[in-house]
Amino acid sequence: MIKIAPSLLASDFTRLAEEVKTIDNADMLHLDIMDGHFVPNLTFGPGIISALRDKTDLVFDTHLMISNPEDYIEEYAEAGSDYITFHIEATNHSHRLIQRIKESGCKAGVSLNPGTSLKEIELILPDLDMVLIMSVNPGFGGQKYIPQITEKIARLNSMIEELNNDVAIAVDGGIKLHNVSEVIEAGADIIIAGSAIFGSENPYEMIKKFRAAGE
């Protein structure tokens, strides 16, 4: 079953609580944390996550696009995250970070920029709950899907099958109705989409269409 995770980045920040209600048929809420350092944009922090926590039952999927993620794990767990994902490019201590995320009561994910090889995560793959493949360069919504990423998803899918493990593949960036099937066929389990969902006339119906593409 494909999971749909609308990215809050594309919502109207003046009406967050109402925006979240428009997507209550999704599975997860994707929360992009940007620090203006690891990526050239700034978004929001744990205060917004805790403010939204009692507004929805969606699983909170926190994506740390920040330098020094080791300084913030517990804070984002306490704010109400269910998953915490950090970037492999942002730390020299990925295994320790995974352990800390799990100790904080969350599921652990790691994300890879488009130019980062899957080799970087080979040794930590058995310990992960999710791998988040960036299909655009992180920092901004509304960019175009990078076509080579489809092959990367398929290779990751084979690596996970070989391990015989339950690691979810999430794909993030530039996913629309016209290419969602390609991403799902390559092996994605979680579709993260911002502008295609929050930018549509009817986010609820758009989620239904995304879901149908995976059936």
Ligand X SMILES: O=C(CO)[C@@H](O)[C@H](O)COP(=O)(O)O
Q: Is 66 in the site for ligand X (CB under 6 A)?
A: no
Q: Which stretch binds ligand X (CB under 6 A): 13-21, 71-79, 116-124, 169-177?
A: 169-177
Report the nearest approach of ligand X to the CB of residue 93 (Å): 23
Three-state SS letters, the chain = CCEEEEEHHHCCHHHHHHHHHCCCCCCEEEEEEEECCCCCCECCCHHHHHHHHCCCCCEEEEEEECCCHHHCHHHHHHHCCCEEEEEHHHCCCHHHHHHHHHHCCCEEEEEECCCCCHHHHCCCHHHCCEEEEECCCCCCCCCCCCCCHHHHHHHHHHHHHHHCCCCEEEEECCCCCCCHHHHHHHCCCEEEECHHHHCCCCHHHHHHHHHHHCC
Beta carbon nearer to ligand X, 7 or 165: 7
Q: Is 69 in the site for ligand X (CB under 6 A)?
A: no
Is residue 172 part of the annotated active site? The answer reads: yes
Give the integer Cα–Cα distance in Å for 157 and 160: 5
Beta carbon nearer to ligand X, 105 or 147: 147
Q: Which stretch binds ligand X (CB under 6 A): 5-13, 16-24, 66-74, 85-93?
A: 5-13
Beta carbon nearer to ligand X, 13 or 165: 13
Q: What is the pattern of x (binds ligand X, CB under 6 A) and - over residues 19-38?
A: -----------x-x------
Q: Which of residues 173-202 bind ligand X (CB under 6 A)?
A: 173-175, 192-196
Is residue 127 part of the annotated active site? The answer reads: no
140 in a labelled binding site: yes
Interacting residue ranges for ligand X, rule: CB under 6 A: 7, 9-10, 30, 32, 136, 138-143, 172-175, 192-196
Which residues are part of the catalytic machinery?
32, 172
